[in-house]
Structure 1
Amino acid sequence: MPSIGRYIRGIRAVGIKEWWHQMQGIGDVKAGRFVGKDQFGNRYFENLDGFQEVPGRHRWVDFSQHYNNATQVPPEWHSWLSHIRMDPPTEDPVMLNSSPPWKAPWIENLTGTRGAYRPYNTVKPKIEHWEPKAIPRG
């Protein structure tokens, strides 16, 4: 259990509203520089100040929805979070100049939801269901 001092330092670093939001979402408080926002409303942060509890965990995403799913992160932001790209997409000149006009917007994976793709069958079934035929007695 974290100490009261850690809670107070967290409130001072991010403010009480953001502190409460982070405690409800991730259960911990992280403070850092706001880097950008994607089309889903996810916010991306980076903290390069000194000591890190776990090395390599200084970039993170704050999901806009409570249901956190990795497919909600577009590829350009995923490459930045994974340290494949050094600069975020909002500051990287290659990413800013290379967005083709035909590129469709990123859509998250909808498997397991109502929006999932469900194919339909157009082939006549090999086995037909039995339906009783009631013949009137004569």
Structure 2
Amino acid sequence: MSLQRFVTNVIRTGPRYFFRQMLYHCDPKSGTFIGRDEFGNRYFQNLNAEEEVPGRHRWVDLNQDQYQISQIPPEWHSWLNHIRELPPPEDPILKACTPTWKQAHRETLTGTRGAYKPYSTVGPKIIDWTPKVSARGGGRETVDGA
């Protein structure tokens, strides 16, 4: 990354957005706003070959601070990875076909409190050992000091 590209992108994006990009991307980028998905994620593209490395000219600015890849819908994921040439708002194929089986996109909840935890009806394979202690005195009981 050249110093000229770094300074140019800082000036284009402004100090607030520059700081956010350095926290999340570790690279200040500036480009054309392409669209926003239903989760508030913003998608950008910079086609200037002098500024961006080929293959890294499309990126997403995620809405949440704790992010993971499952927060990106499949339509936008295919655009980011160059499977589709046009972004979802402009793609005539995605506009024309809306499958009946398609559900609303949900992020993966693995590692969170909302993760799926199956209920097991099988007892544990390992059982803790608890010693059985009998009373001392050979089993004789005394009543009221007698």
- Structure showing greater radius of gyration is 2
Over 3 Å counting, the alpha-carbon distance change for 1:124 and 1:88 in structure 2 is same
> What is the distance in 1 between the residues matched to 2:65 and 2:101?
31
> What is the distance in 1 between the residues matched to 2:82 and 2:34?
14
> What is the distance in 2 between the residues matched to 1:29 and 1:121?
49
State the one-letter code of the partner of 1:107.
R
Q: CA deviation at 1:61?
A: 0.8
Unaligned runs of 5+ in 1: none
Contact 2:33 2:44 (8 Å CA) reproduced: yes
Q: State the percentage of identical aligned residues.
A: 50
> What is the distance in 2 between the residues matched to 1:62 and 1:89?
16
Unaligned runs of 5+ in 2: 142-146
RMSD value, Cα:
2.7
SS of 1:55's equivalent in the other structure is coil
1:116 matches 2:115? yes
1:28 matches 2:4? no
1:106 matches 2:101? no
Over 3 Å counting, the alpha-carbon distance change for 1:91 and 1:134 in structure 2 is farther
Per-residue CA deviation, residues 6-44 of structure 1 (Å, 9 max, x unaligned), is: 554223211222112212221211111111111222111
State the one-letter code of the partner of 2:69.
A
> What is the distance in 1 between the residues matched to 2:125 and 2:68?
40
